[in-house]
Structure 1
Amino acid sequence: MPSAELSSWNNGPAKTAILDFVARVTSEGGPDHVPPADRIATFDNDGTLWCEQPLQVQFSFAQHRLNDMVARDPSLAERQPFKAYVEKDMAAIKAAGMRGLFEVGAAVHAGMTEEAFDRMARDWLAEAKHAGLGRLFTDLVYVPQLELVAYLQKHGFQIFIVSGGGIDLMRAFSEEVYKIPRHHVIGSSVKTRFEIQDGIGQLVKLPELNSFDDREVKPCNIGLHIGRRPILAFGNSDGDLAMLRYTKTGPGPRLALLLHHDDGTREFAYDREFRLSPLAEALDNAPQYGIDIVSMKRDWAEVFAP
């Protein structure tokens, strides 16, 4: 395999496993050959494709929208769950978990059309920066993962994002940043209502959760939206474990990868203590389940683009 392949990945078991797997499933006439139509790969987003610390980007986006709403209606700041976010009560926010975060997002974006939401998300992403690292959130994508996505696409894989994050926020940047089509994004969603506004059919967001795309819901949504079991899946938390096991336990060649954030120098070191999206069960049982661990510290030559 040319040395230029996956150049930001260090030589080691993880890189070897990826290269060997792709070589096997794309080898015409080989015993493990997989037709292109079945070469489905699914990636989690937060913590797998871009930085999720100290809180997922969805939090900052919902906070931005909430601040605008409180400016117009200060009484919101006295009502839960908004009060916790206005006061940045991290204990309450973390206690509510990712589902609580998304439910707040559903409430603050209710009444918007999907087109208006997309414009607002794009405008926000063009300027929004990580408070600690001082860079645009869209600059804090992992270079090794961008290489891996491009490498898989080059070899006939169809790449899907399957994330607990909001589907519409991810669709606002997936094509430009990841080169993954927006219709290949599966995420948490709110219910919508069809309306005619000024003669134009619109989908209007409702303040009600439709699907919280985490844990066992991920395989269900893969079946619903893709209709094929992935042969490769990549995650970073217990929320991805069901997707990894759904992938790994299918027939034929399979590869399930789990990113361990163990590099506190170049990014952040965390796993089971991150209450919003912990990594404990998947980490402890990875060998038993046949999941390959990817160490950010050991396996990645770089994390973010310079």
Structure 2
Amino acid sequence: MPVTALAQGAKAPLSSWSDGDAKARIIDFVKAVTTEENADFVDLDNRIAVFDNDGTLWGEQPMYVQLAFVLDRVKALVPEHPEWQTTEPFKSVLSGDLNGVAASGERGLVELVAATHAGMTSEEFSKIVADWIAKARHPKLDKPYTSLIFQPMLEVIDYLKQNGFKVFIVSGGGIEFMRPWTDKVYGIPAENVIGSSIKTKYEVRDGKPVIIRLPEIDFIDDKAGKPVGINRFIGRQPIAAFGNSDGDFEMLEWTTSGSGRRLGLLVHHDDGEREYAYDRKSHFGRLDRGLDEGPKRGWTIASMKTDWKSIYPE
């Protein structure tokens, strides 16, 4: 059973959210677009909501989860690639320089994934990811990454789905890294996941048709790439968007620019006791422009410290 199926149960909507402006805005928005006699009513086909993943649905400190996965793969394969010792971003990975790795951005992460997982089939890659995510643990909290998802955001996903929304993940992370586990963890199926990708090709190996992963970047689903990815894979402009960093700015900007009632929300990581406190100067999940411009654009800035009663599922 997906975690999201347990997120609300018989509880009131958004029970892990404190009563306040952020919770009220979400509920008011949903009521407005789902009430037929309301001027802001939106038909089912156009009730599209998009969520960033890293930092929005689960943690991204002290590094992106996919980066932890890639670090393990680079270290395992470096004997076959001595050139990585002097080539970025591999050099930073091998020296343990996370700042250097972070400086390469989403493109650097995709390059690392492309280099360490080229030549295999998509099926083989999915198995590697599934095996790793089942065993990997957070370096500080010593818990499985899939248990460090954000309960309040699971409730938002459930609330939207219960009100006829189609929910999609739109992440800078790798699409084939997320697809093996998003349905089980968030209740969001693989076909509703949009992410960065490397090029692939169709091939017949030993009489079996397969999809082969190539060592070339195909698409970066970050910043201005997010609206492009949404348009390419969904084909409709969302009416609600949820993120946590400046990498999500264009996604919220495009979503909230449409006609009718719209919702844009940024999760602000300001709780250093229960999670991590970071924003403007962070190498991962930097939130600077969004803090300044978000309120002026009518976006909701949700404080983890004051708006969330709890962080993780029980």
Superposition deviation, residue 74 in structure 1: 6.3
Which residue matches 2:156?
A: 148
Candidates 41, 56, 66, aligned match of 1:58: 66
Superposition deviation, residue 277 in structure 1: 3.2
Which residue matches 1:201?
A: 209
Q: Deviations over 1:250-305 (max 9, x none)?
A: 01110000110000000000001112431101111112211111000010000012
Normalised to the residue count of structure 1, the TM-score between the two structures is 0.96
State which drifts further: 177-186 or 79-88: 79-88
Which residue matches 1:18?
A: 26
Q: Deviations over 1:3-46 (max 9, x none)?
A: 71111011000000011111111112221111111000000000
Superposition deviation, residue 98 in structure 1: 2.5
Conserved in 2, the CA contact under 8 Å of 1:259 and 1:295?
A: yes
Candidates 251, 254, 276, aligned match of 1:243: 251
Which residue matches 1:172?
A: 180
- Aligned equivalents of 1:22 and 1:85: distance in 2? 44
Residues 1-306 of structure 1: pairs in structure 2 closer than 5 A: 4-70=12-78, 72-73=79-80, 75-81=82-88, 82-306=90-314
Which residue matches 2:3?
A: none
Conserved in 2, the CA contact under 8 Å of 1:98 and 1:276?
A: no
Q: What SS is found at the alignment partner of 1:46?
A: coil
Superposition deviation, residue 83 in structure 1: 2.3
Superposition deviation, residue 102 in structure 1: 1.8
Conserved in 1, the CA contact under 8 Å of 2:106 and 2:220?
A: no
Q: Structure 1 residue runs of 4+, over 3 Å off?
A: none
Normalised to the residue count of structure 2, the TM-score between the two structures is 0.94
Distance 1:74 1:287, change over 3 A: closer
Partner AA of 1:75 in structure 2: P
Conserved in 2, the CA contact under 8 Å of 1:98 and 1:277?
A: no
Q: Deviations over 1:161-187 (max 9, x none)?
A: 001000011101110000001000000
Superposition deviation, residue 223 in structure 1: 0.7
Q: What SS is found at the alignment partner of 1:190?
A: strand
- Aligned equivalents of 2:92 and 2:294: distance in 1? 35
Cα RMSD (Å): 1.3
Distance 1:288 1:32, change over 3 A: same
Superposition deviation, residue 221 in structure 1: 0.9
Q: What SS is found at the alignment partner of 2:294?
A: helix
- Aligned equivalents of 2:249 and 2:84: distance in 1? 36
Conserved in 1, the CA contact under 8 Å of 2:60 and 2:285?
A: no
Conserved in 1, the CA contact under 8 Å of 2:48 and 2:240?
A: yes
Conserved in 1, the CA contact under 8 Å of 2:173 and 2:196?
A: yes
Unaligned stretches of 5+ in structure 2? Answer: 1-9
Q: Deviations over 1:65-101 (max 9, x none)?
A: 112212x526255241222211212232122222212
Q: What SS is found at the alignment partner of 1:115?
A: helix
Conserved in 2, the CA contact under 8 Å of 1:114 and 1:203?
A: yes
Conserved in 2, the CA contact under 8 Å of 1:41 and 1:231?
A: yes
Conserved in 1, the CA contact under 8 Å of 2:61 and 2:284?
A: no
Partner AA of 2:273 in structure 1: T
Distance 1:60 1:76, change over 3 A: farther
Partner AA of 2:85 in structure 1: E
Q: What SS is found at the alignment partner of 1:104?
A: helix
- Aligned equivalents of 1:168 and 1:243: distance in 2? 21
Unaligned stretches of 5+ in structure 1? Answer: none
Q: Deviations over 1:215-250 (max 9, x none)?
A: 111001111110110000000001100000101110
Partner AA of 1:39 in structure 2: R
Conserved in 1, the CA contact under 8 Å of 2:66 and 2:173?
A: yes
Q: What SS is found at the alignment partner of 1:45?
A: coil
Conserved in 2, the CA contact under 8 Å of 1:76 and 1:83?
A: no
